[in-house]
Structure 1
Amino acid sequence: MLKKPEINEYPPYYKEYVNHVPDGELLQILDDQQKETKKLLMDLSEETAEYQYAPGKWIIKEVIGHITDTERIMCYRLLSIARGEKGMLPGYHDDEYVRRGNFNRFSLSDLLHHQALVRQHTILLLSSMDEEALRQRGNANGCEVTARAIAYIIAGHEIHHRRLIKERYLSDTVTNNNSQ
């Protein structure tokens, strides 16, 4: 069983993500949460999937694209660090990635499918690693982090965005639809 990382295994700004992850087997949590996200969103109309709760904020499709892109990047970091990479892994600018991702050209179903495939890859990658690999430390975006912490950050990141979708997107669309 993959244990939660210690506070010294990741930068302080990831504490919220790590703390969001419930106790339990991380591989099962990762599998379950992807299914929960799909269940939450799969029946939304394309119009609702393009809802933006405030000017300048991402639409729901962009949030899903962001979750998927971030997981791809984090998996690369996880793999690199677990394999002993000593060079600094670069950061990324999420707003620029979302802008260039053009996620609104995809159907919501396609975006959820992409996310599921990336998640399957994450689970396979993690299940192939032993404790020694997961304890490896490396440098990502100028900060020291362990491979194990990155696995928890991936899970916490999705939980964070799913909560935002529920609170800021879906509650608003329900309220707006009921008032019309």
Structure 2
Amino acid sequence: MDQRPESNEYLNELSKYISLVPTEGDIRTIFREQTAEICTFISNLTEEQGDHRYATEKWSIKEMVGHLADTGRIMSYRLLRVARGDTTPLAGFEEKDYVRTANFEAQTLEKLLAHYKLVRESMQALLDTLPQEAWTRRGTVNDGTISARAVACVMIGHDLHHLNILKERYLV
């Protein structure tokens, strides 16, 4: 799938993520390469770095990785529903509540990274098996329309957004 979603395929608030996706290349390939890049980056961090916060009220790196896995799982479900033609409206989720109640701090960074990698591999399998016509199917999330290809691009952009934050604010 080389085509990026049109602006009417997603809520405007998601454009901050979709705009980060490279304009050229297959979405599945970009997703696969991003998974490898993020996993390599995180695997080079120490357990001590995993506990680091750049500010008191901000998530630790462990919490960030846990958030990426949780969001990946939710987005994978959304992608499945939309791609299969399920038009039942889906509610949003409050990411801060998920992180607050997950107890990611009790896990090792290595375990959280393994979890993240499994979630990404599962979504990759779904992306790799979508028929061409599924990419433009639409569903409803957060009271707005979203296409399957927009969900995939949001996932890529979301994780890139957080990777950039890790590089710019956590490891300076």
TM-score (norm 2): 0.95
User: Aligned with 1:71: secondary structure?
Assistant: helix
User: Aligned with 2:19: secondary structure?
Assistant: helix
Q: Are 2:80 and 1:94 aligned?
A: no
Which runs of structure 1 show a deviation greater than 4 angstroms over 4 or more consecutive aligned residues? none
How far is the alpha carbon of 1:2 from its aligned partner? 3.4
Q: Which residue of 1 aligns with 2:16?
A: 16
How far is the alpha carbon of 1:138 from its aligned partner? 0.7
CA deviations over 1:78-134 (Å, ceiling 9, x no partner): 111111112210110000001111111111111111111111111110111112211
Q: Which residue of 2 aligns with 1:4?
A: 4
User: Aligned with 1:145: secondary structure?
Assistant: strand
TM-score (norm 1): 0.91
Aligned equivalents of 1:161, 1:50: Cα separation in 2: 16
Aligned equivalents of 2:29, 2:107: Cα separation in 1: 28
What 5-or-longer segments of structure 1 have no aligned partner?
172-180
Q: Which amino acid aligns with 1:135?
A: T
How far is the alpha carbon of 1:170 from its aligned partner? 0.8
Aligned equivalents of 1:168, 1:85: Cα separation in 2: 39
User: Aligned with 1:4: secondary structure?
Assistant: coil
Aligned equivalents of 1:41, 1:118: Cα separation in 2: 15
Aligned equivalents of 2:108, 2:139: Cα separation in 1: 37
How far is the alpha carbon of 1:18 from its aligned partner? 0.8
CA deviations over 1:4-46 (Å, ceiling 9, x no partner): 1111111111112111111211111111111111221212221
User: Aligned with 2:58: secondary structure?
Assistant: coil
Q: Are 2:80 and 1:79 aligned?
A: yes
